[in-house]
Amino acid sequence: MHDNQQLLLDNRPQGEATTSNFKLVTTKTPALTENQVLVRHHYLSLDPYMRGRMNDSKSYAVPQPLGQVMIGGTVGEVVDSKHPKFHVGDKVVGMGGWQHYSVVDGNAPGMLRKVDTTHVPLSQYLGAVGMPGVTAFYGLVKIIAPKAGETVTVSAASGAVGSAYGALAKARGCRVVGIAGGKDKCDYVVKELGFDACIDYKEHKDYLSLSKALRDACPNGIDGHFENVGGMVLDAVMLRTNAFARIAVCGMIAGYDGAPIAMTNPALILVNRMRVEGFIVSEHMEVWPEALQELGTLVGTGKLHPRETIAQGLEAAPQAFLGLLKGKNFGKQLVKLI
């Protein structure tokens, strides 16, 4: 048995989330039963989707239950096992939640997966070579499906999803333009990630100004766009889209505090015969092996240089999560637990 610190969702946010929505407790890990595995988490992933789960409202997934460990992806090491396929010392990725240890049914499909850290650092299995990377892959390859020479854009370009999207799109011969918040992030997107251009949305007060900047960066218009933010950014992109443009919608972080997000010019969907498709990557497990193989190769060969922001200790997770929702992180937001 081990002392196990856990962060629970204690109460639901009223408007913006706060640190008081969470409660830190300490419990003991239970004894393992047949086919169970005990994992000591090394890193916890913080992701925008978690904010939607905190609300008790209709969504694509059931709300996070009150009084239970917050949902979250984790990577770590097997420290005890009663499953023949998992051994002490194995490095694994799963959905262990906001806690130091998790007990996992080794037979449950998709709940625990061994990973090789020879060429890919363990933490990056929560970012570029994990759920965010596969999210970028699905939106780009299966929805936008770009041809070489086309122009594609992505909001939150310096983040875990955006950075992977850029590498995947460049590998397919696209012109890639990012949208990010701040000069440092835009410099990183262009100089380290290899985007063709990046626009700092913070320099623009409204969608018309942002759209003019997009016109300069995308002289041939926009053929495909990956949306993580919504609001002003999406309005600006839609003004620059070409006929038969494709928009993959994976996040609407601008509206995660509960206020509806208006769309200024929805008629453009008809005028440009646009395809706008939302998706949840966990509903498309069939693409994960192909996506992870390509993403692992990009990271392992140095063609993708993902940035990480790392908070220290489980108790730092709530504040780091709130910062993520306001764009204070640079790249993938993680919490180091060991």
- Is residue 176 a contact partner of residue 195, using CB atoms and an 8 Å limit? yes
CATH 3.90.180.10 for domain 3-127+306-336: yes
Residue 254 has pLDDT above 70, yes or no: no
DSSP letter string over 282-319? GG-GGGHHHHHHHHHHHHHTTS----EEEEESGGGHHH
| Three-class secondary structure of residue 225 per DSSP | strand
Which pLDDT belongs to residue 262?
82
Query: What tokens appear for 265 in the block?
Result: 């010019």
pLDDT of 131 above 70 = yes
Fold identical between 3-127+306-336 and 131-282? no
Residue type at 166 in one-letter notation: G
pLDDT for residue 52: 87
Cα 119-120-122 angle, rounded to 5 deg: 130
Mean pLDDT of 108-132: 93
**CB count in 10 Å sphere of residue 271:** 12
What is the structure's pLDDT at 256? 62
Average pLDDT over residues 114-131: 94
Of residues 239, 237, 242, the one with CA closest to residue 272 = 242
How many CB atoms lie under 10 A from the CB of residue 119?
12
DSSP letter, residue 143: I
pTM of the entire predicted model: 0.90
Tell me the per-residue pLDDT of 33-58, one tens digit each, with 9 for 90 and over: 999 999 999 999 999 889 989 988 77
CA dist 37 → 1, 42, 90, 93 (Å)? 13, 15, 11, 12
Domain 131-282: homologous superfamily in CATH:
NAD(P)-binding Rossmann-like Domain (3.40.50.720)
Look at residue 257 and tell me whether its pLDDT is greater than 70.
no
**Of 68 and 15, which is predicted with more confidence?**
68
Q: How far apart are CA 262 and CA 255, in angstroms?
A: 10
Q: Which pLDDT score, from 0 to 100, does residue 62 have?
A: 82
* Higher pLDDT, residue 58 or 216: 216
21 has a pLDDT exceeding 70 = yes
Helix 160-171 to helix 288-300 angle (10° resolution) is 90
- Provide the percentage of residues in the chain whose pLDDT is more than 70: 98
Region of poorest pLDDT, from 50-59, 131-140, 223-232, 265-274: 50-59
pLDDT, tens digit, for every residue of 56-106?
877 777 899 999 999 999 999 999 999 999 999 999 999 999 999 999 999
Kindly report the number of other CB atoms within 10 A of residue 50's CB atom: 21
Give residues with Cβ within 8 angstroms of 283, minimum separation 6: none
For 133-172, write each residue's pLDDT tens digit.
999 999 999 999 999 999 999 999 999 999 999 999 999 9
- Is residue 260 very low, low, confident or very high in pLDDT (cuts 50, 70, 90)? confident
So where are the chain's domains?
3-127+306-336, 131-282
Tens-place pLDDT, residues 278-287: 999 989 999 9
Grade residue 251 by pLDDT with cuts at 50, 70 and 90.
Answer: confident
